[in-house]
Amino acid sequence: MTFYNRGRRWIAFILTIVIAIAFSGCNPANFKSQGAQTSQLVISVLTDPQTFNYALNQQSPSIFGLTFKGLTSINGKGEIEPELAESWTISADKKRIVFNLRPGLKWSDGKPLTADDVVFTYNDIAFNQEISTDIRDYLKIGVKGTLPKVQKLSDRQVEFILPEPFSPFFSTTTGDASSAIAILPKHALEESVKAKDSDGNPRYMSTWGTDTDPKQIVTNGPYKLESYNPSQRLVFRKNPNYWRKDKQGNSQPYIERVIWQIVESTDTSLLQFRSGGLDLVGATPVSFSLLKKEEKRGKFTIYNGGAAYGQSFITFNLNKGKRNGKPLIDPIKSRWFNTVEFRQAVSYAIDRQTIINNLFRGLGEPQNSPVDVQSKYYLSPKDGLKVYNYEPEKAKKLLLKAGFKYNAQNQLLDGDNNRVRFTLLTNAGSKTAEAMSAQIKQNLSKIGIQVDLSAIAFTVIGEKLHNTLDWECYFGGLIGSGVDPNDGANVWLTEGGLHSFNQAAQVGEEPIEGRVVSSWEKEIADLYIKGAQEFDEAKRKAIYDETQRITQEYLPYIYLVNPLSMAAIRDRIQNVKFSALGAFWNIYELKVDE
């Protein structure tokens, strides 16, 4: 499940499996006296925030679901609704969209929020080629990746001119903290965009890091930052200038303070929740039975939102490139990883049903697609999606066909007698992620592959994936929300910021020599461009069906299991409208019954 339902599957590369608890309860003892006078909600996450800078974020959960909004937003059903824009008009040729901002919008510091902020966000930050940001990828339109033209018509009107009709356009305006563009304050950030650091890069790239005084962060969402103690907690305070009011004219959100407690493990979160003073904990399949027995006595309710959005997977580093003459990956291992039969054999060797039965207590299903099962664009197995059941003997035959062999100890060797062995990275602190990785290690040992597990911090994995690129295989996940497949653009476009299995060098990074883009990678990218150009739903479905056929044939990601989205929430939290998207998509409506 997600923190404040904010992940669309593709940008926030959560390196914990999606059903690992992205939010939970924590002991609010340190805030007990204040809480007597102030309504508050206490949740927890496993890791510190990566940044306070929206455009530079590659993490989920993040602070941005609470602090920043876009022109539109997504409700609990995955539908797009007005947010900072109260309405919009679309031209007959679908290439001109005009947004009308709500009257009287303000930033958390009281300054007016106008069309100037919208134009600044798009033209000076999102579309600025000197700024390394993933949000740009979602508005690259057509084969040439042309960006829209954005201009001010009046203080409350902004015009977008598209180079061609672009069917996913509105999903890019939702301010989703993972795959869309939230509006940023021109008055607070313009100087940092114009100024250069000693290397000639915009000073914006080092602005609003986590070393910034939280009270200096200017927001437009329901909350603003109040304080941050690394490895301990983040405290959010109600933004008095947030635009929403209820039917009686009362300002929203109702809850004055949200505390994001940073805990070392999901086990700790569960123990703290069961102690009686915590507000919420993810009800994983492992903890579900225990929590169910305590539901009435503990005065909480377990909510079931159905199948969780998002994917869990392992993936191999397929990048054949070099930096400074040195291969990113050992050439011997690179040959294994880039052999399709090798990846298919690994997939056949993973016992997903045992993972579901043992780790998820039967509360899950095998996963086979990058498109959420809830999506109208999902291709089901009965309609032609390739699946990989547990067939270790078939896996061995594929390996032998590809030129691998076995020694007398049943260890897998390549054609040059190199033992097949690689390191699998997983996120430390997530019990479920570590348990699944251990199961995969055990499964692959049965086909002669030795897997060395390395559980390391989220930030370290992120550095390897997006900067140094020195990794072999990792276990991870992508959060989903089922709005539009094009939200996967920056995973599937070959130059995308989250094309992690064959990552191109990003802005400001050392160049990669000799990177090779395979024909199937290019085909997927072309289909995503084509899908964004198509407005006929049946034709779009056919396009995205084909992308799923290709991904399951070539397996850049080896998908694992899809659990249920569940959470235990204290009964004193009112107006909960839980869905597979999470508990807090409507946080502005939540109340605390003290």
Could you report the per-residue pLDDT of 103-138, keeping only the tens digit for each? 999 999 999 999 999 999 999 999 999 998 888 888
**Percent of the chain with pLDDT strictly greater than 70:** 92
- Gap between the Cα atoms of 396 and 285, Å rounded: 32
Closest CA to 88 of 140, 147, 160, 148: 160
- Gap between the Cα atoms of 371 and 14, Å rounded: 16
Please name the residues in contact with 284: beta carbons below 8 A apart, sequence gap of 6 or more: 19, 20, 21, 266, 360, 432, 563, 566
Tell me the domains of the chain and their CATH numbers: 20-46+222-307+564-592 (3.40.190.10), 72-189 (3.90.76.10), 311-559 (3.10.105.10)
Closest CA to 545 of 565, 528, 564: 528
Residue 508 is predicted with a pLDDT of 75
Residue 509 is predicted with a pLDDT of 82
- The burial of 400, by beta-carbon neighbours within 10 Å (0-12 exposed, 13-18 middle, 19 or more buried), is given as middle
pLDDT tens-place string over residues 551-580: 999 999 999 998 888 999 999 999 999 987
* Six-digit token string for 90: 């679309």
pLDDT tens-place string over residues 218-230: 999 999 999 999 9
pTM of the model: 0.74
Q: Are 62 and 260 in contact (CB under 8 A)?
A: no
- Least confident segment among 310-319, 467-476, 577-586: 577-586
CA distances to 157, 258, 371, 372 from 380, in Å: 43, 40, 10, 10
User: Which residue did the predictor score with more confidence, 373 or 285?
Assistant: 373
Q: Are 563 and 308 in contact (CB under 8 A)?
A: yes
Q: Is 531 left (phi over 0), alpha (psi -120 to 50) or beta?
A: alpha
What confidence tier does 82 reach under pLDDT thresholds 50, 70, 90?
very high
- Least confident segment among 358-372, 403-417, 474-488, 570-584: 474-488
DSSP H helices in 510-586: 519-533, 537-554
- Least confident segment among 175-184, 222-231, 235-244: 175-184
pLDDT tens-place string over residues 51-68: 999 999 877 778 999 999
What confidence tier does 285 reach under pLDDT thresholds 50, 70, 90?
confident
Whether the per-residue pLDDT at 480 is higher than 80: the answer is: no
Residue 412 is predicted with a pLDDT of 98
User: What is the torsional sign of CA 443, 444, 450, 453?
Assistant: negative
Under DSSP, is residue 523 helix (H, G, I), strand (E, B) or coil? helix
Helix axes 340-349, 537-554, angle to 10 degrees: 90
User: Which residue did the predictor score with more confidence, 450 or 16?
Assistant: 450
DSSP label at residue 142: T
Whether the per-residue pLDDT at 331 is higher than 90: the answer is: yes
- Least confident segment among 91-95, 168-172, 238-242: 168-172
Closest CA to 25 of 46, 48, 1, 42: 42
Whether the per-residue pLDDT at 237 is higher than 60: the answer is: yes
Query: Residue type for 569, please?
Result: I
Q: Which residues of 314-350 are buried (b: 16+ CB within 10 A; e: fewer)?
A: bbbbbbbbbbeeebbbeeebbbbbbbebbbbbbbbbb
- Gap between the Cα atoms of 301 and 225, Å rounded: 29
Under DSSP, is residue 572 helix (H, G, I), strand (E, B) or coil? coil
Whether the per-residue pLDDT at 182 is higher than 50: the answer is: yes
Beta strand 257-262 with 40-45 is parallel
User: Which residue did the predictor score with more confidence, 128 or 496?
Assistant: 128
* Six-digit token string for 365: 């299903």
Residue 16 is predicted with a pLDDT of 35
> Taking residues 526-531, what's their average pLDDT?
93
pLDDT tens-place string over residues 1-20: 222 222 333 333 333 333 33
Residue 73 is predicted with a pLDDT of 92
Mean residue pLDDT across the chain: 89
Residue 308 is predicted with a pLDDT of 83
pLDDT tens-place string over residues 66-81: 999 999 998 877 788 9
CA distances to 3, 245, 577 from 574, in Å: 18, 17, 9
Whether the per-residue pLDDT at 327 is higher than 90: the answer is: yes
* Six-digit token string for 38: 């102030």
Whether the per-residue pLDDT at 277 is higher than 90: the answer is: no
Closest CA to 175 of 167, 166, 187, 184: 184
Q: Are 74 and 483 in contact (CB under 8 A)?
A: yes
- Least confident segment among 68-72, 194-198, 342-346, 482-486: 482-486
Residue 483 is predicted with a pLDDT of 66
